[in-house]
């Protein structure tokens, strides 16, 4: 599988609290943001750096700089926006795109209702955000639309992934690496991840 799962005690700890049905909206949002930050660090391990010269209080020296202008974060609405704060803390000048997809509850297929990207998306590395990778339908469609807009290097960040979703993205977009905090057991009969954490959007926004 073209998927990287984080294996760190802090991640496991935060995931356990995140999954708990008794965790409130405020704490749930904070945990999503914190886990997203950790995922962002992992996803940027191969980031290109530029040589720069800086001056410390002691002397001049060489340093490295990451160019924020080379990146774009694209949350899949609405739940993906819950991950944005965590990534913006790492890279505050990255451009933000949005893609709106919802899942047809009968067919489980994604339906697009909004798409807005930076004009130079074809020149940026794009990181797609969605807390839950379930059937993979929304992820595949989002990546397909981005490629139609010219995006060439794309990564997918999620908190929890189902094997079915990973397999779907790997099948249609084998060039896209998935970064996640957990790979769960399966999807249930209505397309939810098990054991999962319920509906991430509802829990982020307190709508259920």
In the residue annotation, 199 being an active-site residue is answered as yes
Q: Taking a C-beta distance cutoff of 8 angstroms, is the pair 66, 47 a contact?
A: yes
Active site annotation includes 61: no
Least confident of 22-36, 97-111, 145-159, 188-202: 97-111
CATH number at residue 186: 3.40.50.2020
**pLDDT score at 194:** 96
Residue 103 a catalytic site member: yes
| Residue whose entry in the numeric block shows the structure tokens 């992992």 | 42
Q: What is the number of domains present in the chain?
A: 1
**pLDDT score for 108:** 67
In a domain, 149, yes or no: yes
Is 18 domain-assigned?
yes
Residue 73 falls within a domain, yes or no? yes
Is residue 57 one of the residues assigned to a domain? no
Residue 107 has a pLDDT of 79
Average pLDDT over residues 16-38: 96
Look at residue 62 and tell me if it is in a domain. Answer: no
The answer to whether position 132 is within a domain reads: yes
Q: What is the extent of the structural domain holding 100?
A: 3-45+69-205
pLDDT in tens, 112-166: 899 999 989 999 999 999 999 999 989 999 999 999 999 999 999 999 999 999 9
From 81, 103, 122, 145, active-site residue = 103
Examine residue 136 and state whether it is found in any structural domain, yes or no.
Answer: yes
């Amino acid at each position: 599988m073209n998927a990287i799962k984080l294996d760190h005690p802090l991640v496991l700890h935060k995931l356990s609290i995140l999954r708990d049905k008794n965790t409130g909206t405020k704490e749930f949002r904070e945990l999503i943001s914190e886990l997203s930050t950790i995922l962002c660090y992992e996803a940027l391990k191969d980031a290109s750096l530029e040589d720069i010269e800086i001056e410390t209080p002691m002397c001049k020296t060489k340093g490295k700089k990451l160019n924020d202008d080379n990146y774009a974060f694209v949350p899949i609405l609405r739940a993906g926006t819950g991950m944005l704060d965590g990534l913006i803390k790492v890279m505050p000048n990255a451009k933000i795109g949005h893609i709106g997809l919802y899942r047809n509850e009968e067919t489980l297929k994604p339906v697009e209702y909004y798409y807005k990207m930076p004009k130079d998306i074809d020149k940026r590395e794009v990181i797609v955000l969605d807390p839950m990778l379930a059937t993979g339908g929304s992820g595949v469609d989002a990546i397909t639309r981005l490629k139609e807009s010219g995006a060439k290097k794309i990564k997918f960040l999620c908190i929890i992934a189902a094997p079915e979703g990973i397999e779907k993205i790997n099948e249609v977009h084998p060039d896209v690496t998935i970064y996640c905090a957990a790979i769960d057991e399966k999807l249930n009969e209505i397309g939810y991840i098990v054991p999962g954490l319920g509906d991430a959007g509802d829990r982020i926004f307190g709508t259920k």
